[in-house]
């Protein structure tokens, strides 16, 4: 009995997580649920939503809101930077970030119990695997977010050139964003996906400048934020943006060239360390090896005499 309870607990947790995911996937969007309740309440009909299926996702969000607010804000920011927008994606990741370490920890504890270890070792396996997987998931999220931010930074120069070309063609900002989103999937895939959300927000009635700023602010890419600020200024006040885009493109290119030079200088220092550790001993053997061999033969001949 003492061996089977950790395994049973793991299966119960996994089953509960799958059932919760299925219920959330099949549930209606939260704003539809809220409007449905408000319409019923206006008609004098009050429904209990404490444990009802209409508020399942909202109840989970309320539970998650009780977690550390700083952690929630950081995770939401990193998920947006990693390209996983929306409440559903954030909810799925948060559930995995908490349930997966717990499941792995319980599996490690079950393995220790099957090996008939002491309860101290079982507790150590549980805590160590839980802590390691808990930290690893968040490290992977930060790594994914940083890689996508670097990819966005590399796509800024093609994006600026496309903006200049389309502005010179006389297109409006909405048409420019639509053309870049449709035709730039191969050239700037990450920015094209972000612009797709901007176009949806503009079509739903949001202001153009607000939609662009809502896209650029959480990504925390300085070049993209400056570009969106210029577009926002043109959207609100008008003016000629082609000269500003040309100057800013030159500035971004010079900045990336300086960053590349810094990377090459750091890489050369790293290669020097590699050369000293691996190439220098082989070079010494190749150059000084024949001399040492000749010297050893000469000393052997002297000993023979």
pLDDT digits (tens, 9 = 90+) for 65-95: 555 455 677 788 888 888 887 777 777 887 8
More confident site: 160 or 40: 160
Same domain flag for 8 and 100:
yes
Indicate whether 100 pLDDT > 50. Answer: yes
Same domain flag for 30 and 119:
yes
What angle do the packed helices 87-114 and 119-154 form, to 10 degrees?
150
Q: Which two tokens mark 103?
A: 């499941």
* % of the chain exceeding 70 in pLDDT: 74
When pLDDT is cut at 50, 70 and 90, the band that residue 143 belongs to is: very high
Indicate whether 26 pLDDT > 60. Answer: no
When pLDDT is cut at 50, 70 and 90, the band that residue 99 belongs to is: confident
Q: Which stretches within 115-218 are classed as H helix?
A: 119-154, 156-168, 173-183, 189-203, 208-216
Same domain flag for 140 and 167:
no
Residue 147 confidence (pLDDT): 92
Q: Which two tokens mark 301?
A: 């001949």
When pLDDT is cut at 50, 70 and 90, the band that residue 54 belongs to is: very low
How many residues are present in the chain?
305
CA pair distance 232, 253, nearest whole angstrom: 22
Same domain flag for 8 and 47:
yes
**Last-in-domain residue among 85, 114, 145:** 145
More confident site: 300 or 259: 259
More confident site: 212 or 47: 212
When pLDDT is cut at 50, 70 and 90, the band that residue 56 belongs to is: very low
> Among candidates 212, 171, 175, which has minimal Cα distance to 195?
212
| 262 belongs to a structural domain | no
Question: What would the pLDDT profile of 280-305 be if each residue is shown by its tens digit?
Answer: 788 778 787 777 777 777 777 665 55
Which are the contacts of 216, defined by CB distance < 8 A and separation ≥ 6? 224, 225, 227, 228
> Among candidates 137, 152, 167, 139, which has minimal Cα distance to 81?
152
CB atoms within 10 A of CB 106: 24
Same domain flag for 78 and 163:
no
Q: Per-residue b/e over 65-78, b at no fewer than 16 CB within 10 Å?
A: eeeeeeeeeebbeb
Same domain flag for 171 and 126:
no
Residue 115 confidence (pLDDT): 82
* Selection from 9-13, 271-275, 297-301 with the highest mean pLDDT: 271-275
**Last-in-domain residue among 224, 239, 254:** 254
**Last-in-domain residue among 145, 166, 183:** 145
For residue 15, what are the domain limits?
A: 4-145
Largest CA distance in the chain: 119
| 271 belongs to a structural domain | no
For 6, 34, 118, 205, 285, the CA distances from 162, given in Å and listed in that order, are 58, 42, 65, 25, 56
Same domain flag for 61 and 41:
yes
Indicate whether 215 pLDDT > 60. Answer: yes
| 264 belongs to a structural domain | no
Q: What angle do CA 232, 256, 152 make, to 5 degrees?
A: 55
Q: 115 by DSSP, 3-state: which? A: coil
| 293 belongs to a structural domain | no
Same domain flag for 171 and 121:
no
Same domain flag for 35 and 160:
no
* Number of domains the chain is built from: 2
Same domain flag for 168 and 123:
no
Same domain flag for 37 and 97:
yes
Residue 5 confidence (pLDDT): 54
- Counts for the chain of helices (H) and strands (E), in that order: 13, 0
| 266 belongs to a structural domain | no
Average pLDDT of the chain, as a whole number: 76
Give mean pLDDT, residues 211-238.
Answer: 83
Least confident range from 40-44, 92-96, 229-233: namely 40-44
Same domain flag for 136 and 162:
no
Residue 304 confidence (pLDDT): 53
For 37, 119, 217, the CA distances from 32, given in Å and listed in that order, are 9, 50, 28
| 136 belongs to a structural domain | yes
| 66 belongs to a structural domain | yes
Give mean pLDDT, residues 101-121.
Answer: 84
| 27 belongs to a structural domain | yes
Question: What would the pLDDT profile of 185-208 be if each residue is shown by its tens digit?
Answer: 888 888 888 888 888 888 888 888
Unique residue bearing structure tokens 């550390």: 68
């Amino acid at each position: 009995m003492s061996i089977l309870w950790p395994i049973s607990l793991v299966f119960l947790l996994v089953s509960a997580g799958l059932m919760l995911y299925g219920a959330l996937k099949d549930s209606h969007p939260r704003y539809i649920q809220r409007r449905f309740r408000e319409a019923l309440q206006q008609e004098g009909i009050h429904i209990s939503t404490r444990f009802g299926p209409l508020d399942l996702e909202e109840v989970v969000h309320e539970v998650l809101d009780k977690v550390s607010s700083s952690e929630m804000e950081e995770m939401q920011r990193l998920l947006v930077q990693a390209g996983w927008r929306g409440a559903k994606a954030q909810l799925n990741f948060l559930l995995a970030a908490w349930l997966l370490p717990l499941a792995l920890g319980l599996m490690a504890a079950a393995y220790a119990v099957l090996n008939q270890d002491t309860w101290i070792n079982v507790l150590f396996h549980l805590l160590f695997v839980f802590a390691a997987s808990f930290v690893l998931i968040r490290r992977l999220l930060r790594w994914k977010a940083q890689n996508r931010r670097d990819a966005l930074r590399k796509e800024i120069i093609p994006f600026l050139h496309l903006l200049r070309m389309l502005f010179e063609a006389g297109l409006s900002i909405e048409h420019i964003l639509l053309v870049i989103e449709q035709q730039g999937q191969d050239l700037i895939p990450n920015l094209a996906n972000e612009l797709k959300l901007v176009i949806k927000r503009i079509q739903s009635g949001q202001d153009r400048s607000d939609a662009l700023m809502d896209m650029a602010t959480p990504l925390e890419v300085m070049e993209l934020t400056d570009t969106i600020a210029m577009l926002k200024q043109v959207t609100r006040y008008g003016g000629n943006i082609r000269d500003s885009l040309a100057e800013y493109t030159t500035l971004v290119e010079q900045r990336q060239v300086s960053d590349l030079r810094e990377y090459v200088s750091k890489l050369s220092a790293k290669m020097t360390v590699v050369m000293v550790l691996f190439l220098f001993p082989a070079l010494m053997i190749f150059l000084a090896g024949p001399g040492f061999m000749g010297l050893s033969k000469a000393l052997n001949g002297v000993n023979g005499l």
